[in-house]
Amino acid sequence: MNKIAFKILLFLLPVIAITIFFEHELKNVDNSYTAKKRELKYQADSIEVLITGNSQSLFGINPEFFSKYGFSVANVAQSLYFDTRIVLKCIDSLPHLKYVIIPISYIALPTNTSDIEDWRDPFYSTTWGIKPPNAAWYDLYKYYSRILLYSPRHSFEYMFKGFHVRTETSEIYQHNGWAKIDTTDVAHRFSDSDANAMLSWYNPLYNRPSVLKSNCDALDTLISTLKKKHVTPIIITIPAYITFYNNAVHKDVFYAIIKDICNANNCTFYDYLHDGRFNRKDYYDCEHLNATGAEKFSRILDYDILKSH
């Protein structure tokens, strides 16, 4: 029996050693989450304006055009829950933080990250130490193992590149957290039918009161915490193409929720969702601004909000 146990141990030791090696080295793989956390740490002493949000914020707000030093922690499909948890994690390390811009999109209120791209949830755990509120039991292994998070196949690919690689998603991210999608010359690529198809999925999500409530609770927590820290919360919407706006059938519910939150927390709401200053050439698709639109919108935010405070 002891000989069998010894042989099993001899077999397992190299497997354990290789696993430990991979788990350690995969920390060097750069993705959008690790890149943002690293840049946030490097720039912490300078940051006066922090920007949260999902892809509409990520592509649509470029802090380069602010008169105050800004950084974006927005990411693709990032939920209001993760927005809140990231700010709570980092706020005490930002000594000069004065404002947090909190974009609320039409899709943000009725969804969690897992509704859109659930594979992203474990990255908040491995990078920020933030667990999602409703992690599926069959996905828990991804929250503790980078090998399983990236997949064994990709892990070996990264090994052959020396682990010091950037995933394709991290390559478009700038040092200020903004992601550049320059599609100025292909604005014809989206159509009205694209907006209708997107909203055919978005609109029914407003029939989930429990999700709406949990996101409202997250916003209340974020805003109240900022006020206690003497940081000004700025609630905004980001421009969307006219077809998207016209076919968002729950606009009244969307606006009512935002106004209730702002009234309850005594903060100002800046609405740009339907803004006539933006045209088709400013958009990447029906709900995302391109690089040109981002510059225009960021300058507007700076003039309307940051320079006026």
Is residue 264's pLDDT more than 90? yes
Tell the CATH superfamily of the 30-128+161-306 domain: SGNH hydrolase (3.40.50.1110)
Is residue 302's pLDDT more than 90? yes
Q: What distance in Å separates the CA atoms of residue 85 and residue 23, rounded to the nearest whole number? A: 25
pLDDT in tens, 214-261: 999 999 999 999 999 999 999 999 999 999 998 899 999 999 999 999
* R_g (Cα) of the chain, nearest Å: 21
Helix extents (H) in the chain: 2-25, 32-42, 55-60, 80-90, 113-117, 121-128, 146-150, 152-160, 192-202, 209-228, 242-247, 251-265, 291-301
pLDDT in tens, 270-280: 999 999 999 98
For 64, the token pair is 């380069």
pLDDT in tens, 3-19: 776 667 676 677 666 67
Find, among 306, 193, 295, 181, the residue nearest to 239 by Cα: 295
In sequence order, what DSSP letters do the residues of 85-115 get, joined into one string?
A: HHHHHHGGG-TT--EEEEE--TTTTT--HHH
Contacts of 301 (CB under 8 A, 6+ apart): 61, 66, 101, 236, 270
Find, among 271, 264, 200, 192, the residue nearest to 234 by Cα: 271
pLDDT score for 167: 63
Q: What distance in Å separates the CA atoms of residue 107 and residue 79, rounded to the nearest whole number? A: 9
Q: What distance in Å separates the CA atoms of residue 227 and residue 139, rounded to the nearest whole number? A: 36
pLDDT score for 142: 60
pLDDT score for 179: 92
Average pLDDT score, the chain? 85
3-class secondary structure, 49: strand
pLDDT in tens, 11-65: 667 766 667 766 666 666 778 898 899 999 999 999 999 999 999 999 999 999 9
Contacts of 135 (CB under 8 A, 6+ apart): 121, 143
Q: Give yes or no for a contact between 146 and 126, defined as CB atoms under 8 angstroms apart.
A: yes
What is this structure's pTM? 0.88
Which residues does residue 283 pair with via DSSP β-bridges, in sequence order?
Answer: 289
pLDDT score for 169: 57
Q: Sketch the domain layout of the chain as residue ranges.
A: 30-128+161-306
For 307, the token pair is 């320079």
Averaged pLDDT, 175-204:
78
The percent of residues above 70 in pLDDT, for the chain, comes to: 79
Averaged pLDDT, 270-297:
93
The percent of residues above 90 in pLDDT, for the chain, comes to: 54
Write down the residue that tokens 């090696």 correspond to: 21
pLDDT band at 125 (very low <50, low <70, confident <90, very high): confident
